[in-house]
Chain A
Amino acid sequence: MTENRAGTVRRICQDHGGDRTRMMDIVLAVQKEFGYVPSAMMDVIAAETGSHRVEVESVVSFYAFLSSRPKGKVIIRLCDDIIDQMAGAERVRQVFEEELGIRVGQTTADGRITLEHTPCIGMSDQAPAALVNDVVVTELNGDKAREVARSLLEYMDPDRLVREYGDGNNAHELIQSMVHNHIRRRDQVILADMTPGEALNKALAMSPAEVIRDVNTARLRGRGGAGFPTGMKWNFTRRAAGTDRYVVCNADEGEPGTFKDRVILTEATDLMIEGMTIGGYAVGANTGIIYLRAEYAYLRAYLEHALEERRRQGLLGKSICGKQGFDFDIRIQMGAGAYICGEETSLLSSCEGERGDPKNRPPFPAEKGYMGKPTTVNNVETFCCVARILEKGPGWFAQIGSEGSSGTKLLSISGDCRGPGVYEVPFGISLREVQRMAGAVDTAAMQIGGPSGQMVGPEDFDRSICFDDISTGGSIMIFGADRDLLHVVDQFMAFFIEESCGYCTPCRVGNVLLRKRLNAVRQGLGTAADLQYLQELGETVKLASRCGLGQTSPNPILTTLERFRPLYEAKLKAEDDGLLSTFDVRSAMSEAEAITGRSSVHFSKA
């Protein structure tokens, strides 16, 4: 059997040209074949790709959706982020555990079904949600979970779980998903009609430098959250020394509470691809890569189809739109469940077939990116803006939004509100307006920009969403007055602990210590010194981590310490006796008491 398997694996490697930089695709294909990546097959992959076993193993061990141990034919991944928890994910978990007779993290005795937790899968507007293999199951509750579990036990067919299709392209024959778009507000940039090729033709009538000038004139800034001027990034990429250049679309939408890229990928696919193609023309690239998060695998066939369609129309491929010398094509790179890969240098590592480890910057990707070549990495939404700028003109775009932030922004709104969904709004909108628009009442706090962003309270609701005030990649979670905000903070910290790549000690260790101390405080065991500890350690982790994950991971604690300090202070011990209540002497003696069969002389149970 090993020989048969090895043959299959060799064929898979050969299909990818034995190219070690396609390691992600190879291990994903092997996993698809066997349900996991068997240890013996890692040697085969290493031999076939001219790499070392340790490289294969490090890739397999890095990504949450890859496994070196056998798993069920069906894998149920329950989303356990805070919004899903608020919507009843706990009950859903219980029901699945009851029906399947296993706990989260286990596989049924017959090896058929595995039950797992996973962080935000981009369905916060229809929580609680789960992935069953690639199939998305939304708006679960106890009854639905029971139905899902029973159907799977009987038929082992995730596709049977989809009874009704969602709206728009979710019903497309290549998607056929129950996901709903929940588009609650459209504006003129992203969620408006477009004619494929129109913007591209206008771009190709100009020189690449002129295209970049237009993007600059429109004052377009990156939509991923950091807000770097897109035109400037493209200029760097265009001017960087080197021959092959790349355009990469970051569709690894992993920030909890964000799902706007899901809607763009479903409904504004052409706009995005057109923007990428224009990007390719502007920076002088021949190849584009869409890095698609594993959670959105259900959109892959549709995206491939959209690319194929554009190739057919002459909008991708050789001599695009008849323009001699402009060849550009796009491939899709699947991710495998790693939040860190949303960070651009990690994303590039992943595209190169490695662990999603961040790289040192500088050199920036514009200079040395994918395969060490000049690369521009932009957000899905940014590319959409580019296409619209070229179509309607930079002046038109620049007059939308606010002074320093032109254009519109897609917001993914979830949590305690009547209208969770995607809203396209002009920049400069106030949080109060967002709150009203989403139908939220009695709001205690809004988390802007996901866990890596900031938590703000009602006194800040007059502030506005734009790069100069509160910047966001689009995630807005709303928490009502009855929510335990420190529990929210705890869950965000748990998320970062899970997703840290482990390279920088301050991030790998610091976040664990932060969470531990936070919970000691929450249990009423803390003193003022503990708050200071949280503050100082949080700042250290930010300062001493090399990528965006570590640099933002203490934000849940730091922003709430600043804006919601009374919540912490209310939990502090009345008197500081210097004895640390984080130290539990009774549990520290549990093993010795079990071994000796007697209890402590000094610290008896009384």
Chain B
Amino acid sequence: MGKPIIATTSLAGCFGCHMSILDIDDRILKLFELIDFDRSPINDIKHISQRCAVGLVEGGCANEENVVVLQEFRQNCDVLVSVGDCATMGGIPALRNTISLKECLDEAYLNGPTVFNATGKVPDSEDIPLLLNKVYPCHEVVKMDYHLPGCPPPADAIWEALVALLNGKPLELPYELIKYD
């Protein structure tokens, strides 16, 4: 039997959660003994190529491309985990949810005090994914199996969660790893 395959992605996140994944330090060597990575920013594979045991998702859905990626993950991963607060709750990007999209874009590209935009237009091209009316946490778009809180979740929490998942054991995180104040 081959090693379990893991895929990871960062949607509307800051890559901080992925930095936290790397933060497991030398355990990453052990991780590579235990698993193989499919699609992930770590190896820059663009699409999932095989059935994966676990998908780790950082960030919520802010644009149509995020939705496409998340749906691809759902269709190809046995277990899908929201990693971090943006995936779980929308996080910082979701601060725009109380303001209309047009107002956000106008402020960012036209009216903001530091904006220099000679075109006087909001950038648009088929290569730029359309933004969603608001930012959605992952579990409002597809079924998510687990949520790992934190901004970012500590490396130890990610490690413990992965080990537990791969061994099919219940996860018991010590209080220090899920306490954030």
Interface set of A (CB-CB < 8 Å, partner B): 529, 576-580, 582-583, 585, 587-593, 595-596, 598, 600-603
Complex A-B, nearest 6 residue pairs according to Cβ-Cβ distance, in ascending order:
A592-B130, A591-B101, A578-B143, A588-B132, A578-B74, A596-B124
In the complex, are the beta carbons of A583 and B140 less than 8 A apart?
yes
Identify which of B64-72, B112-120, B157-165 touches chain A: B64-72
In the complex, are the beta carbons of B130 and A596 less than 8 A apart?
yes
In the complex, are the beta carbons of B133 and A580 less than 8 A apart?
no
Shortest beta-carbon distance from B81 to chain A in Å: 13
Shortest beta-carbon distance from B119 to chain A in Å: 14
**Which residue of B64, B102, B126, B143 is within 8 Å of A591 (Cβ)?**
B102
6 contacts between A and B (CB under 8 A): A578-B74, A580-B140, A583-B136, A595-B101, A596-B122, A601-B130
The count of A-to-B residue pairs whose CB atoms sit within 8 angstroms is: 73
Give the docked Cα–Cα distance between A99 and B134 (Å): 39
Interface residues of B in 104-129 (CB under 8 A from A): 105, 122, 124, 126, 129
Shortest beta-carbon distance from B60 to chain A in Å: 12
Give the docked Cα–Cα distance between A589 and B134 (Å): 9
Give the docked Cα–Cα distance between A443 and B87 (Å): 48
In the complex, are the beta carbons of B136 and A588 less than 8 A apart?
yes
In the complex, are the beta carbons of B133 and A578 less than 8 A apart?
no
Interface residues on B, range: 20 to 34
The secondary structure that dominates the B interface is mixed
Give the docked Cα–Cα distance between A583 and B71 (Å): 12
Q: Which residues of B contact A600 (CB under 8 A)?
A: 64, 130
Most chain A beta carbons < 10 A, residue from B68, B105, B133: B133
Give the docked Cα–Cα distance between A573 and B6 (Å): 29
In the complex, are the beta carbons of A602 and B67 less than 8 A apart?
yes
Q: Which residues of B contact A588 (CB under 8 A)?
A: 67, 132-134, 136
Given contacts A578-B74, A583-B141, contact A592 B132 (CB under 8 A): yes
In the complex, are the beta carbons of A579 and B100 less than 8 A apart?
no
Shortest beta-carbon distance from A34 to chain B in Å: 34
In the complex, are the beta carbons of A579 and B132 less than 8 A apart?
no
**Which residue of B105, B126, B133 is within 8 Å of A589 (Cβ)?**
B133
Q: Which residues of B contact A593 (CB under 8 A)?
A: 130
Shortest beta-carbon distance from A547 to chain B in Å: 28
Give the docked Cα–Cα distance between A265 and B100 (Å): 51
Most chain B beta carbons < 10 A, residue from A529, A590, A593, A596: A596
In the complex, are the beta carbons of B141 and A580 less than 8 A apart?
yes
Shortest beta-carbon distance from A584 to chain B in Å: 10
Q: In the complex, what residue of chain A is closest to B134 when comparing beta carbons?
A: A588
In the complex, are the beta carbons of A602 and B132 less than 8 A apart?
no
Asked whether B173 is an interface residue with its Cβ less than 8 Å from the other chain, the reply is: no
Q: Which residues of B contact A592 (CB under 8 A)?
A: 101, 130-133
Given contacts A592-B101, A592-B131, contact A577 B75 (CB under 8 A): yes
Give the docked Cα–Cα distance between A587 and B136 (Å): 13
Give the docked Cα–Cα distance between A591 and B63 (Å): 12
Give the docked Cα–Cα distance between A602 and B64 (Å): 7
Asked whether B142 is an interface residue with its Cβ less than 8 Å from the other chain, the reply is: yes
Shortest beta-carbon distance from B70 to chain A in Å: 9
In the complex, are the beta carbons of B100 and A578 less than 8 A apart?
no
Give the docked Cα–Cα distance between A573 and B80 (Å): 21
Give the docked Cα–Cα distance between A592 and B142 (Å): 21
Q: Which residues of A contact B80 (CB under 8 A)?
A: 578
Q: Which residues of B contact A598 (CB under 8 A)?
A: 124, 126
In the complex, are the beta carbons of B140 and A589 less than 8 A apart?
no
Q: In the complex, what residue of chain A is closest to B101 when comparing beta carbons?
A: A591
